[in-house]
Amino acid sequence: MSQLTLIPLGPIDAAAQPFLPEDAPPPIDPATLLSDLIDLRGGVALAEALATLDAIEAPAEPLPPAPVRARLEAAVRDIEGRMADAFEHAFKPRYRLPTAQRAQQVLAQSGVLENPKGAPLRAATRTLWAPFAEYLDTHLKRARFALRDTRAELAEQLPRISADAARLERLDAALAGAAHQGVEALVLRALSACEQGFGAALKGALKALPAGAAPDVSAWFAADGWVPLHLRRCQALIRAVVLHERRMLEALVEAACGEGE
One-letter amino acid of 209: L
| 117 assigned to some structural domain | yes
Residue 26 lies inside a defined structural domain of this protein: no
Read off φ and ψ for residue 217, nearest 5 degrees: -105, 15
Domain holding 148, by residue range, is: 61-208+215-260
Contact 141, 27 (CB under 8 A): no
Q: Would residue 139 count as lying in a domain? A: yes
Cα–Cα distance, 150 to 142 (Å, whole number) = 12
Residue 13's nearest CA partner among 246, 250, 243, 248 is 243
Residue 56 counted as domain residue? no
Residue 72 is assigned to a structural domain of this protein? yes
Task: Indicate whether 52 belongs to any domain.
Answer: no
- Does 27 map to a domain? no
| 226, part of any domain | yes
Q: Are 90 and 97 in contact (CB under 8 A)?
A: yes
Q: What would the DSSP string read from start to end of 2-51?
A: PPPPPPPS-HHHHHHGGGS-TTPPPPPPHHHHHHHH--HHHHHHHHHHHT
Maximum CA extent, the chain: 80
The model's pTM is: 0.87
Instruction: Give 71's pLDDT tier (boundaries 50, 70, 90).
Output: very high
In this structure, of 97-101, 173-177, 240-244, the range with the lowest mean pLDDT score is 173-177
pLDDT tens track for 72-90: 999 999 999 999 999 999 9
Residue 23: is its pLDDT beyond 80?
Answer: no
Number of structural domains found in the chain: 1
